[in-house]
Amino acid sequence: MSRPGKIARLLMQSFFKKPATLNYPAKKSGMPEGFRGRLKFNALMCIGCKMCMRDCPSGAIEIRKIGEKQFEAEINLARCIYCGQCVDSCLKKALEITAEFELAKLDPAQLKVILNAGNTENPKG
């Protein structure tokens, strides 16, 4: 088959093929099992042992005491590499990794997020 003929045949085939890409962000696909995204902090489970801080390879998490048996976590999204080590290190299961991946911010100041009893997940947007 001549080259223009081959191209025309491929073009016709492409018209009827299902698109290989998604019209993101209008359409979203689910993330694969085991994907590591946004961290969730359950302040009520935290005992302030700071094992997560000690084991974090990038110094992205800080646990602070804010009251009697009350703690908050500050996560620096600019430093976090989503390795999940803090989740594994937490014996109280106060940290959880979610499949949420849309964490980009225009303002670098928003990359430091404080999670506590009233705000368990990084704010979106």
7 binds ligand SF4 (CB under 6 A): no
**Residue in 95, 113, 115, 116 binding ligand SF4, rule: CB under 6 A:** 95
CA distances to 73, 75, 78, 98 from 64, rounded to whole Å, are 6, 11, 19, 22
**Residue in 29, 30, 38, 58 binding ligand SF4, rule: CB under 6 A:** 58
For the chain, where are the alpha helices, taking DSSP H only? Answer: 3-16, 51-55, 85-89
Tell me the pairing of strands 112-115 and 95-97: unpaired
Tell me how far, at minimum, the Cβ of 121 lies from ligand SF4, in Å.
14
Residues near ligand SF4 (CB under 6 A) are 46-52, 56, 58, 60-61, 63, 71, 75, 80-86, 89-90, 92, 94-95
